[in-house]
Amino acid sequence: MPAKKSAPPSLCEQGGPEIQVMGIRVKTTDVVDFSAWICNTAARVRAVVTDDAGTDQVLVDQTGLSKAAATLPRLSPGAYTLTWSFIGVSGPWQTRIEVAVNDTVRYRHRKDADSNDPFLRGFLFLDVVA
């Protein structure tokens, strides 16, 4: 009898170790990509970039897909906050968030249902320089 194989890593478990940082500095010419993976549940995902005046720009608002992705619009120099939120409907869920600058991941965060929280929220400060 063959040995039992363990389940392959989910999309949320792939991608390498977490990168813990509160914010990143990017140039106005940089391409900044936001990606979110949701595993083992259906969820609503919303991502917003907020400028220093408090004006929101919605990047993603979708429900029922395992991946949400968006490229941030070209931002003028200043201080921004990138925020995301999930509403997960069932456990045991997993998530992976990545922010990449010019295809290099500068932020990676994972979370799973051990927190027993259907409302997952996160943020990353963005300093945009010329």
Partner 1 sequence: MIRRTHLSGVIALALGISLSHAQEAPDVCKPGEGITQTEFDNALTAGDTTAVNAILNHALDSPAAAPNAKQISALGGSTASPDIVSSSDFPSLFAMAVDTGFISQSSGATTLNLNFFAFIAAVQPRVVQEQEQYQRFTNLRRLSGSITLGGVGDAIDQNGDGVVDDPKTADNATDIVTWELRYRVYGSRDRRDRLNYMRLTEALKGADDTLVTRLTAQRRAYIALHPEQRLAKFLCRPDVTAFIENPANRATIDEIAKSDAAMRKQFTEITNSIDTSLLVTLVAGGTERRKDIFGPDKRLYGLRTSWAKADMTVEANLDFNQIKSFRGAPAQESTKFGLAYNGTYLRDLVGYKNQGVKFTIAAAFEKYRNVPTAAYDQIETANLKITYPISDTISLPFSITWANHTDLLMGEKDIRGNIGFTYDLSPLFSPQK
Considering beta carbons, is residue 52 or 76 the nearer one to partner 1?
52
**CA-CA-CA-CA torsion for 47, 51, 53, 57, nearest 10 degrees?**
-40
Near partner 1 by CB under 8 A: residue from 72, 108, 111, 128: 111
- Neighbouring C-beta atoms of residue 37, cutoff 10 Å: 22
How far apart CA 107 and CA 104 sit, in angstroms, is 9
How far apart CA 6 and CA 8 sit, in angstroms, is 6
Asked if 36 and 109 touch (Cβ cutoff 8 Å), the reply is no
Work out whether 56 is an interface residue with partner 1 (CB under 8 A): yes
Contacts of partner 1 in 10-49 (CB under 8 A): 10-12, 19-25, 38-44, 46, 48
Beta strands in 21-130, from DSSP E residues, in sequence order: 23-27, 32-39, 43-50, 56-63, 67-71, 78-88, 94-101, 104-112, 119-129
Q: Considering the complex, what minimum distance in angstroms separates the CB of residue 41 from partner 1? A: 6
Near partner 1 by CB under 8 A: residue from 74, 78, 92, 129: 92
Work out whether 117 is an interface residue with partner 1 (CB under 8 A): yes
Footprint on this chain of partner 1 (rule: CB under 8 A): 1-2, 4, 7-8, 10-12, 19-25, 38-44, 46, 48, 50, 52, 54, 56, 63-66, 79, 81, 83, 85, 87, 89-92, 106, 109, 111, 113, 115-119, 121-125, 127
